[in-house]
Amino acid sequence: MITQKTKYALKALMVLADEKAGEGTALRIEEIADRSGAPKRFLEHILLDLKRAGLIGSRRGRNGGYELIKDPKRVSLAEVLRLIDGPMAPLPCLSRIAYQRCDDCKDEETCRVRAVFGGFYAAYIVMIESLTLADLMSDSRPLERFSLSGPGLGE
């Protein structure tokens, strides 16, 4: 499950991508907060994280504010998730970025918990790594290609 902080980050990026496609001007934090529905106080920290990661830039002065500096097709949703929420792996021994051996595991090769969650995680990573901000912005439904259904997944 993604956090509310990540949802705010994604919504702010969508607002900035809309602006980039339109006028191409920088937006003040108040405008981003208003359009995205994110609280301004909370959004300030998120925008700083996105700026440090090189996804957005800022301008000073009268026409200052934040702007998307990367093409939406080049903004990976997985990158944003990791930036805001940290590692995505369900177990520390499955993380590619923050790998840690599980304290209670004697043998990773024969660990059934790791095997089951590893299979799920591999499928999730393939899917999430293929999605971009452009996919989020489009009217299409990119997840339909993965044909998800069942309780909580649209049915």
* 59 DSSP β-pair partners: 65
Instruction: Locate 108 and state its tokens.
Output: 């990773």
Please check the confidence at residue 153 and state whether its pLDDT lies above 80.
Answer: no
Q: What is the pLDDT of residue 155?
A: 42
Contacts of 141 (CB under 8 A, 6+ apart): none
pLDDT tens for 92-133 read 888 888 888 888 888 888 888 898 888 888 888 888 889 999
**CA–CA gap between residue 35 and residue 15 (Å, rounded):** 7
Please check the confidence at residue 145 and state whether its pLDDT lies above 70.
Answer: no
Q: Please tell me the pTM assigned to this model.
A: 0.80
> With 0-12 CB in 10 A as exposed, 13-18 as middle and 19+ as buried, what is 72?
buried
Instruction: Locate 25 and state its tokens.
Output: 């001007």
pLDDT tens for 79-95 read 999 999 988 888 888 88
**CA–CA gap between residue 55 and residue 32 (Å, rounded):** 15
* Confidence at 6, pLDDT banded by 50, 70, 90: very high
Q: How far is CA 4 from CA 10, 37, 46, 51, 116, in A?
A: 10, 11, 11, 19, 28
Q: Does domain 4-68 have CATH number 1.10.10.10?
A: yes
Phi, psi at residue 39, to the nearest 5°? Answer: -60, 135
The residue length of the chain stands at 155
For the chain, the domains span: 4-68, 87-146
Helix (H) or strand (E) holding 68: strand 65-68
The DSSP output letter for 67 is E
Question: Comparing C-alpha atoms, which of 79, 66, 85, 58 is closest to residue 129?
Answer: 79
pLDDT tens for 20-74 read 766 668 999 999 999 999 999 999 999 999 999 999 999 888 878 999 999 999 9
Question: Comparing C-alpha atoms, which of 92, 76, 83, 72 is closest to residue 126?
Answer: 76
